């Protein structure tokens, strides 16, 4: 399995997202998709997926969408609304732009469970750094 368009630094061992079952599955400038493979260790005290795990999925996918054209960026802020309990086997995330600027980008995310129900939504703001040369 390979995702040729995906920034090579996202889906790799050592990354907090990767180590916790998160993969970016599609990326182009201003759009990205990703998936969490829910594990026994994805849990919060209620036995559903931890909000921090969902946030990790969202931040990773949104950041990939914001930076997929070769720039680098850092997250300034991000908020999430937890709409209903999330469980497995998978949670899917789609990120689309509210704004794509040279300095700031604002991405929205929608997270759905395997039945297609929205479990969480969020908005992330990124500060765009200089273009990568590599």
Question: Which residue ranges make up the site for a copy of itself (CB under 8 A)?
Answer: 7, 9-10, 14-17, 19-20, 40-46, 49-53, 55-60, 63, 72, 74-85, 98-99, 103-104, 106, 108, 118, 121, 123, 125, 127
From the list 78, 116, 118, 123, the residue with the least C-alpha distance to 97 is 123
Q: How close are the terminal C-alpha atoms of the chain, in Å?
A: 24
Choose between 74 and 114: whose C-beta lies nearer to a copy of itself. Answer: 74
**Shortest distance, position 2 Cβ to a copy of itself, whole Å:** 18
Choose between 69 and 98: whose C-beta lies nearer to a copy of itself. Answer: 98
**Residue 65 φ/ψ, nearest 5 degrees:** -65, -40
d(CA 38, CA 24): 15
**Shortest distance, position 108 Cβ to a copy of itself, whole Å:** 7
**Shortest distance, position 81 Cβ to a copy of itself, whole Å:** 5
d(CA 116, CA 10): 25
């Amino acid at each position: 399995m390979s995702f040729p368009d995906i920034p090579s630094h996202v889906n790799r061992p050592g990354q907090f997202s990767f180590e916790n079952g998160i993969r970016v599955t599609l990326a182009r400038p201003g759009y990205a998709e990703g998936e969490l493979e829910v594990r026994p260790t994805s849990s919060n005290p209620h036995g559903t997926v931890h909000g921090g795990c969902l946030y990790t999925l969202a931040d990773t996918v949104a950041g990939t969408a914001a930076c997929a054209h070769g720039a680098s960026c850092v997250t300034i802020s991000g908020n999430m609304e937890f709409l209903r309990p999330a469980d497995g086997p998978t949670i899917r995330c789609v990120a689309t732009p509210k704004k794509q600027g040279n300095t700031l980008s604002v991405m929205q995310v929608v997270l759905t469970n395997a039945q297609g129900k929205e479990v969480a939504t969020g908005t992330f703001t990124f500060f765009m750094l200089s273009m990568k040369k590599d």
